[in-house]
Amino acid sequence: MTIETTNLCPANETATLPILVTGGGRRLGLALVNALLKEGQTVITTYRTHTAVIEDLKAQGVHCIQVDFNEADDVTRLTDEVLAEYQGGLRAVIHNASDWVSEEDGGDPMALMTRMWQVHVAAPYQINLALAPLLEKAESALGEATDIIHLTDYVAEKGSDKHIAYASSKAGLANLTLSFASKLAPKVKVNAIAPSLLMFHPGDNEEYRQKALNKSILSIEPGEQEGVAAVQYVLSSRYMTGRTLSLDGGRHLARRG
């Protein structure tokens, strides 16, 4: 299933001001990057693992920066590079990079907690603080607020007994939305998008797929374009900040019993 979308950045003059999309090498991040490219938007993206997709994005003019968000020094290198090369300002920062590990995967639980909070909370916190001046500079040029968007998760409000550290860190990211919205207003809008299921992995079996679909009352796999449409709405809105847009198919109303 696909959803037709209009421009993510409807004002033509915004195209020369870059948008940073973290984790743009796969799934929703890649869909966002491709949608922005289709509009002629200047795009910066990060990736953890080099693939043929990254080479294709580079060939299309995307500034691709390899970053391991589990390493604070890598995040510093990212912000230093963006600050040096894009002094004219940034239209938006979209925090899509994520790490999905459960307690059942084994290993040191405290190391897992540290890793989840580094990737989902500390790195976005560091990036927002460092790049806020570029977002504020772009606001002055455009005459309207620029954007930070945090991709959180449905489990941020519900918790998860199988992904405890992950869920807690996504809740931390959701809280950053509130704090940065207050800190950066009125020049920068800061909002969150909280998906549950958008798309399955190719290896997911039929039993798992049906179980996941049954968790929401709409019972569909909407696809990555649902996330693209949500980002489109947040970027185009002039009057929303400090809010979370939920993409969960009515999961909070799911039938029980």
Catalytic site positions: 166
CA–CA separation, 162 and 135 (whole Å): 37
- Tell me which DSSP letter residue 121 carries: I
SS3 148: strand
CA–CA separation, 55 and 62 (whole Å): 9
Phi-psi region of 18 (alpha: psi -120 to 50; beta: other; left: phi over 0): beta
Whether residue 186 is preceded by a cis peptide bond, meaning omega within 30 degrees of 0, is yes
SS3 179: helix
CA–CA separation, 184 and 242 (whole Å): 10
